[in-house]
Every structure is written in structure tokens, then in C-alpha cells.
Chain A
Amino acid sequence: MSVKILYFAGLKEALGLPGETVELPAGVATVGGLRDWLVGQGRDKLATAKNLRCAVNQDMAKLDATIKDGDEIAFFPPVTGG
């Protein structure tokens, strides 16, 4: 399946890209699985980021949230607005 990844703020800066569309191998079925797979693809910063947060289709999600073909998954640091 294919998913769209977005990165924000310090994570975007550390990775040097705002996002990417990736084709996932069978077996990657959760946000956590996706993160581990991306780390394996060289996105090391996703493994070391403190309190990494994520959203699936613009809803805050936990690492055990399931993902499906066509989803938009965002990874970002804890928010600091207001």
C-alpha cells in the first residue's frame, strides 16, 4: 500500500524534507510499524525524537493506530502553540 507522510517543525528540519509518499511492504499495518520502517529507510531522527507525536488523516493518533492504503500520516514534535 501507498501512504503519504508529512513532517513538521523541528522534525521536518532535522530530516530535511516536508514529507514523502512511500510504498510499504506487506506487514506494516500501524503508525508504529511505519515509523520503524521509515527508520530502516534512513529516517533515523524518527527513532530518537523526544515524545514523537503523530496524526492519521489529520486526527491525533497513537503509535498502535492502524493505517491503510491512501492514508496521510503526519509525524511531529509536541505542539507549542498558544
Chain B
Amino acid sequence: MKYIRIQTDAIDTGVELARLESLPGGAVASFTGLVRDDNGVVALELEHFPGMTEAALADLADTACARWPLLGVVLIHRVGPMRLGERIVLVGTASQHRAAALEACAFLIDRLKTDAPFWKRAHFANGQSGWVEAKESDDQAAAIWDK
């Protein structure tokens, strides 16, 4: 089961993870990314490349399913404006056992951060805003999975 969605609405973690818990496995792992207070950030605006985004996420899900014995993958990414503390992304995996679910979940979020065309614009408490710069540490984290 692969469930991939780009949405402007808030992400309901309980509803989305229930999709994985209803599968016949014994393990569900998830990662939730939140809007963080980096240097006074009060809100984010997420832009994406419609079409390519969905294809890139589907590719990632396919790759994870080929590499680990997964029963299900949930990839949900929010776009548009969101406030401090709100959920940006949810990655969920289901498998018979925890190792595959946990590893695949880590793989999916590491690769999503370098392979999927999303861009963050940060809004600060002082009224200023600017595009978030990509981090080299994200490239390094994604490259670990090349091995």
C-alpha cells in the first residue's frame, strides 16, 4: 500500500497512521517534521513543483518498497502557509518487524529532503522573510543510503 499526498490542509497524524496500522504487519514507524523556531521563525510558506513532486515521492516509495519488506508507505507533505509548531511532513512505514519499518522511514525522510522539489520560505517575528538555504548535512544524510 502506497499513500502519497500533497495538501494545503493540516496533517492528521492519527488518521494517516491508522492506514498503516490497519495492515497485517506488527510494526509501524513514522517521522513528523514540524515548523521550528529557527532564529525567530513564526511561519513557513512551502512552494513545490506540481507534478514532479508527486512523481518524486512515488519514486522514493517504490525504491523503499524494493529495498525493504514493507507492507505500506504513507508520504504526506503540506504546501502553502503554515505556522510555528504545525506539521510539514509525515512519513510512515509498515512492516512485519521494526527494523525494516524504522530503516525505511529514515531512508524516506533523508531522501525526500534532497530529491523532492519543495522550497521553504521563512517568515520571522520582525516581519522579514527569506528563502531557506539547503544544508550540506542534508546531502550527507541522503548519501548514506547510496551504500
Contact = CB atoms under 8 A, between A and B. Distances in A.
Contacts of B115: 60, 79
Name the interface size band of chain A.
10 to 19
B46 A81 contact: yes
Contacts of A9: 47, 119, 121, 131
B134 A79 contact: yes
A77 B131 CA distance: 10
A79 B51 contact: no
Question: Among A9, A58, A79, which residue has the most Cβ atoms of chain B within 10 A?
Answer: A79
Contacts, number: 72
B132 interface: yes
B51 A80 contact: no
B119 A58 contact: no
A8 B119 contact: yes
A73 B13 CA distance: 35
A78 B134 CA distance: 6
